[in-house]
Amino acid sequence: MTTSAWMEIGLYLVVLLALVRPLGWYMARVYTGQPCGLDRIIGPAERLIYRLCGIRPETEMNWPTYAIAMLVFNGLGVVSVYVLLRAQVWLPLNPQHLPEVSPDLAFNTAISFATNTNWQAYSGESALSYLTQMLGLSVQNFLSAASGMAVLIALIRGITRRLTETIGNFWVDVTRSTLYVLLPLSLLLAVVLTSQGVVQTFSPAIEVTLVESTTDAEGKPVTTQTIPMGPAASQIAIKQLGTNGGGFFGVNSAHPLENTTPLSNFLQAISILLIAAALCYTFGEMVGDRRQGWAILAAMLLVFVPMLSLCLWAEQAGNPRLTELGVDQSANDFQSGGNMEGKEVRFGVPASSLWATATTAASNGSVNAMHDSFTPLGGLVPLVMMQLGEVVFGGVGSGLYGMLIFAILSVFIAGLMVGRTPEFLGKKIEAYEMKMASLVVLIPPILVLGGTAIAVSLDLGRVGVSNPGPHGFTQILYALSSAGNNNGSAFAGLSVNTPFYNCLLGAAMLISRYWLMIPVLAIAGSLAKKKYTPPSAGTLPTHTPLFIVLLAGMVMLVGALTFVPALALGPVIEHLQLTATR
């Protein structure tokens, strides 16, 4: 690994951590109703929304009511996107006159964007109109992210409140998340991306003459190229900030009009983890102990940095088969070296490895390189990052509430070790909380492993595999890991735009999103009812290095016990085959 690679990663981490405190402090003031600087500008719009929608912001909800409001709101999102996809052929802002989307693909896409997964079994420039991209997908990018943030804030209130039934108002939380956090940041990022050349226009696709003509597969001359256009920058900004990941173009952030320069690449990579990391500080502010937020963030970094290092090392080492053929894969003054298959030359191995690890640590799923072309160990890293439950940063809101569930599990196990009732931030963790936490931990693996077993057992699942063998198994496992953890990235070699995969992955995305949100809200409601228990000599401090290691170890242990057998059948075997001497 080169010095420049470490400098790039070091700069990334320094900038990310420098932004955690100011943004986290700002979001804490937003959610606690304190002056935040933008309330004088946005406040009137917020109050107008409440008035038009008949919302009483002072009226709070218990957890079942909060959950119902969340499900109804997101259910309407699924229906609206489905109708838009099916009717786009008759709607305006469709300069390419694209037809309606098939029922199974519309079902998959509507669920994908409403659940913050943003799995794409299509190429946006050749399948969706500008109106569908803006009114359907971009709107859900905001609202699905805001829903995850709202559930997190409800859980934090459950931890901090005492002897009460209520955990806040869903409509207020989702409105404030959108107006005060997501919209301002997205507007700022979209303007910067546009300045870097990211396309933002309603003009139709442009046909240009090639500098050098070529021939197609049938030997016919090709003298022109069609360059897709559209309002991309506005969607790209929220796709990264909201950990959505759905690209305007089919190849996502590897497209030169979606990710134009090294600066746009760096800013988008920062945006992937920005809000998720800052919410850790928000958590510390809202519970009245900033050390708690820093401890959670440290546990995330304790997993993230070693996994990133493994990915970078594997990709920079290159393909041993090519080395046997005498191909020079070392980094030098004339080449970046390493495994460059499926990567943009303008980004190289370090930026591609960083993005792959970040996008799967978060519930983002956008790509600036093709993960299907990574080395076996390089591809194992994004696969494992998803299978850990996407709690290492994770989606905005969903990642942190997932990590807090692991924190509850950690203090429970630690409490059993010393023979006393476990406590987390002054609240006793009892049987009900453990049952709900078990659901949160067990549902994604059941979906991933069960769905993979179904796909590899049926001809309908195997027919989409482009590379049979261990890599083909990895392609299927990756797809189900992505859908079952609401990520959205893919090993692009698997053909998934079929009724079988559209329905299977759609069901996995739907269940994994809402069957996790409901137990989290149930835990929030249960904790809010409990009295505060002052810490004693037997209480495990949850801000110390010991707890940080315990929490990170718990995440890794649960992931390893669940997925190591499946990983052994895919990337591990493929790595052994690749490195075996002939």
At 277-316, the pLDDT tens digits run 999 999 999 999 999 999 999 999 999 999 999 999 999 9
**151 torsion bin: left (phi>0), alpha (psi -120 to 50), beta (else):** alpha
What average pLDDT does range 462-466 have in this prediction? 90
Q: Is 297 exposed, middle or buried (0-12, 13-18, 19+ CB in 10 A)?
A: buried
Q: Given this model, what pLDDT does residue 215 score? A: 85
Write out the two tokens for 82: 């489905």
* Residue 12, pLDDT above cutoff 70: yes
The pair of three-digit structure tokens given for residue 573, joined into one six-digit string: 């075997």
Torsion sign (Cα): 437, 405, 487, 242: positive
Instruction: Quote the CA–CA distance of 176 and 30 in Å, as a whole number.
Output: 7
221, containing H or E segment: strand 221-227
3-state DSSP assignment of residue 206: strand
The secondary structure of residue 205, as a DSSP letter, is: P
Q: What is the largest CA-CA distance in the chain?
A: 80
Q: What is the pLDDT of residue 357?
A: 96
What's the pLDDT at 491?
87
CA–CA dist 479, 497 (Å, integer): 12
| 207-216, 326-335, 430-439, range with greatest mean pLDDT | 430-439
Q: Is the pLDDT of residue 220 over 90?
A: no
Residue 1 has pLDDT above 70, yes or no: no
Query: pLDDT tier at 10 (50, 70, 90 boundaries)?
Result: very high
Q: How many Cβ atoms sit within 10 Å of the Cβ of residue 357?
A: 26
Residues in the chain, overall count: 582
Q: Which amino acid is at 70?
A: M
Read off the pLDDT band of 3 (50, 70, 90): confident
Kindly compute the dihedral angle of the four CA atoms of residues 531, 155, 24, 388, in this order, to the nearest 10 degrees: 120
What gap in Å lies between CA 374 and CA 9, rounded to an integer? 19
CA distances (Å), 534 to each of 148, 358, 424, 493, 539, in order?
30, 38, 11, 55, 9
15-27: pLDDT as tens digits: 999 999 999 999 9
Instruction: Tell me the per-residue pLDDT of 549-558, one tens digit each, with 9 for 90 and over.
Output: 999 999 999 9
- Residue 25: per-residue pLDDT: 97
| pLDDT score of 416 | 82
Q: What percent of the chain has pLDDT over 90?
A: 80
pLDDT at residue 582, rounded to an integer: 58
Q: Is the dihedral of CA 404, 37, 166, 395 positive or negative?
A: negative
SS3 call for 578? helix
Give the confidence band of 581 by pLDDT, cuts at 50, 70, 90.
Answer: low
- Rounded Cα distance, 505 and 104, in Å: 11
Mean per-residue pLDDT, 430-451 = 94
Q: Kindly state the average pLDDT of the residues 56-66.
A: 95
pLDDT in tens, 471-511: 999 999 999 999 999 999 988 888 999 999 999 999 999 99
In degrees rounded to 5, what are phi and psi of residue 221?
-70, 140
Give CA–CA dist 360/386, Å, rounded: 6
Amino acid at 271: S
Whole-number pLDDT of residue 466? 87
What confidence tens digit (pLDDT) does each residue in 235-262 have? Answer: 999 999 999 988 899 899 999 999 999 9
pTM reported for the whole predicted model: 0.95
User: pLDDT over 70 for what percent of the chain?
Assistant: 99
Q: What is the pLDDT of residues 308-352, one digit of tens each?
A: 999 999 999 988 888 888 888 888 777 788 899 999 988 989 999
Mean pLDDT of the chain: 93
Residues ≥6 apart with Cβ < 8 Å to 115: 74, 144, 486, 509, 510, 512, 513, 514
pLDDT tens, position by position, 372-392: 999 999 999 999 999 998 899
Model confidence over 142-174: pLDDT tens digits?
999 999 999 999 999 999 999 999 999 999 999
Question: Using CA atoms, how far apart are residues 306 and 320, in angstroms rounded to an integer?
Answer: 23
Quick one: CA torsion of 477, 385, 272, 282, rounded to 10 degrees?
Answer: 130
